[in-house]
Amino acid sequence: MAEESILTDDFLRELMNVGEVDLVIGVPTYNDAKTVGQVVQAIRAGLLKYFPRHRSVIINADGGSKDGTQDLVRAASISDLQHVTNVSALRTLHCISTQYPGGPASGTALQTILAAGELLRANASAVVSPDATSIEPEWMDRLLQPVARDNVDLVTPVYGRQKSEGLLVRSLVYPMSRALYAKRVREPYPTEFAFSGRLGSHFLAKDIWSQEVGHIGAEIYLVISAIAGGFRLAQSFVGTKSRVMDHSSGDLVFAMRQTVGVLFWSLEQYFPLWSAQTESQPIPTIGAEHEISPEPVPIIPKRLYEMFVRGVAEIEPVLKSILSPQTLGELQRAATVPEGNFQYSDELWVRTAYEFAASYHKAVISRDHIIQAMAPLYRGKAYAFLEQNRDATPAEMENNVEALCQTFERSKPYLLELWNEKK
Amino acid sequence: MSQWQKFVTQLTQATQEIVASIAQFLPRLMVMLLIVLVGWLIAYVLRSILRTILRLARFDKLSEHAGASQLLRKAALPPSSELLSRFIFWIAWISFILIGASVLGIGGLQQHISQFFGFLPRLFAALFIFFFGLLAASFFSRAALLAAVNADLPSPRLVSFTIRTMIIVFALSMGFEELGLGERTVLVAFTLVFGALMLGLALAFGIGGQDLARRFLERRFVHERKEPKEDELSPL
């Protein structure tokens, strides 16, 4: 059913010309002319090098780019490869670009890729972000091989990161999703991942594509659905994550809607699952489990602290309807502490996150407003986290992340208590 | 016929007329009292049903969101679901009292009664407008507050308060227009407030925001390389 609505006639014709394939690589784009050529080249090189006997297709799902992204994808697919000069495909390797309807939305792009993968009966598929400038051909091997060879259903990435990168994932999305769904998936909101045809069809059949979660944040919901559906998970170290900062990548509220919003939303769908889980379990990891750059944090943005202090004061009436008086009181006291001595303890942060999740469930105010109201508090935690790890070694920083995760797990009964309170 | 007999005859006639009037009026009065009593019962049942429905529909929560509950608390009034239930009780009962009064056949009262019933739909429409005006004011002022805080704009509470006030004034003017009360006064007041606000904003932005406007236009049309902000760490 999904194919009928999302795949255009021209795209269907192109897919029919391709015929059945073994591998589908999806590249969702929107005005990514600066980087997409390099990414497609790396994907092709990876496929030729590691999967020369597989029938493959690269599918570019574009949200209506106006900077010639689609032309660049097509050009990259027929240009000479710089990465691999002495390898050629033994089977077919196609590259198709299509524009999906409804404007740019990562979820719709994913739906297009899933529908195409199902139609082409691909055994394994991968999605690669068009702004992954650090991509190497080896990423294809690391992501796809566990699915193609070992029958894993979902492979999420593990990235090498700078200390100051991916703070929302490290301080909230990973620890909270791990505590709730009891699986230690380091990147619950992956921008590069691989999945089996079985999981692709399972997820495509979900009734989410007409909802907001189907447009933004479908990636994290895919991971949660895979956990809930009992699919085989693994994670694979791919390398350093380096991206071009564009307008949207610095937009904290948008990032929180994509990740925290969908995580909170999923709690209602999967209450029987997460409420019954206790201790988290590791999932098979290929390569390093984490790799944090040892360099000290160059600048700790003072604005994070200032926006936290100002946010707590300005949105107090909103926070009153979300947080308990005790938590709000502690936050207000923390906001009076000078910058040098500022602390946002793990316990307080976990309580804040759980109270927000419960308020989201009870819809005490507009749910989008709840997510927006969390942004200033996250800034405070991000600042405290950077201060705490300014000169920490990678191992020390990892210990700090682990301690936060354990606090989330220990405090899970508090969320259940809040959840079951009368609305 | 002597004067005395004439007096007695007239007195008897008058008494008979009074008795006849009372005999004519008494059943009507009894019907009226019956209508009032039945009306009270119906109004009471209506109040109970409405109170249950509002409780099930979590109307108090909606009212809390709209900011109406805070206003009621400040005025030492009961919660909105209770207030609305009582309001419906009184409206229903007064309606029955008026229907009962119309049975008495008192001249001139009929017109007032029909006016009252004609006014009821407008009263409900006005209350509906007030309530949803408050709801909209609360939602949009909160949205503005959060957006302003997250964008690090100056005076977020002022922005939020301004939006709230404007929407409430707008809802009030619409409500009063619906009721037909001081239409011109409210319209003029709204026009003045809105005009003054827009003029104030125009002056504030024009004088105070020259640099901001220049930077915005440059960013929009000149496509200068964007300087990374201090806090633009990729959260993902």
Res B179: pLDDT? 84
Q: Which of A375, A404, A385, A347 is nearest to A177 (CA)?
A: A404
CB atoms within 10 A of CB A82: 10
Residue A281 · residue A182 · CB < 8 Å: yes
Over range A272-286, report the average pLDDT.
92
Query: Chain A within 8 Å of B143 (Cβ-Cβ)?
Result: yes
Query: Chain B within 8 Å of A394 (Cβ-Cβ)?
Result: no
Q: Does the beta-carbon distance from B235 to A168 stay under 8 Å?
A: yes
What are the domain boundaries of chain A? Answer: 2-292, 302-420
Q: Does the beta-carbon distance from B139 to A168 stay under 8 Å?
A: no
Over range A96-104, report the average pLDDT.
90
How much is the pTM? 0.81
**pLDDT tens-place string over residues A147-174:** 999 999 999 999 988 888 889 999 999 9
**pLDDT tens-place string over residues A50-69:** 998 899 999 999 999 998 89
Between CA A346 and CA A381 the distance in angstroms is 9
Q: Does the beta-carbon distance from A255 to B232 stay under 8 Å?
A: no
Between CA B129 and CA B136 the distance in angstroms is 10
Query: Chain A within 8 Å of B231 (Cβ-Cβ)?
Result: yes
Query: Chain A within 8 Å of B219 (Cβ-Cβ)?
Result: no
Q: What is the dihedral of CA A400, A404, A406, A407, to 10 degrees?
A: 140
Please provide the DSSP assignment of A166-182 as one string: SHHIIIIIHHHHHHHH-
**pLDDT tens-place string over residues A107-137:** 999 999 999 999 999 999 999 999 888 899 9
When pLDDT is cut at 50, 70 and 90, the band that residue B228 belongs to is very low
Secondary structure of chain A: what % helix, strand, coil (to 5)? 55, 15, 35
Q: Which of A143, A131, A140, A158 is nearest to A38 (CA)?
A: A131
Interface mutation target, options B69, B149, B164, B236, chain A, most CBs of A under 10 Å:
B236
When pLDDT is cut at 50, 70 and 90, the band that residue B2 belongs to is confident
Residue B26 · residue B76 · CB < 8 Å: no
Shortest CB distance from A168 goes to which of B150, B156, B236?
B236
Q: Would you say residue B23 has pLDDT above 60?
A: yes
Task: Name residue A26's beta-bridge partners.
Answer: A59, A127
Interface mutation target, options A170, A192, A315, chain B, most CBs of B under 10 Å:
A315
A2-292: CATH number: 3.90.550.10
Query: Chain A within 8 Å of B86 (Cβ-Cβ)?
Result: no
Residue A83 · residue A42 · CB < 8 Å: yes
Q: Does the beta-carbon distance from B149 to A365 stay under 8 Å?
A: no
Tell me which chain B residues have a C-beta less than 8 angstroms from the C-beta of A379: 231
Nearest CA in chain B to A362: B61
Res A335: pLDDT? 95
Between CA B236 and CA A256 the distance in angstroms is 9
Shortest CB distance from B146 goes to which of A299, A369, A378?
A369
Shortest CB distance from A301 goes to which of B61, B145, B231?
B231
Res B177: pLDDT? 84
Query: Chain B within 8 Å of A249 (Cβ-Cβ)?
Result: yes
Taking only residues 276 to 335 of chain A, the set having a beta carbon closer than 8 angstroms to any beta carbon of chain B reads: 299, 301-304, 307, 310-311, 314-315, 318, 321
Average pLDDT, chain A: 89
Q: Does the beta-carbon distance from B231 to A304 stay under 8 Å?
A: yes
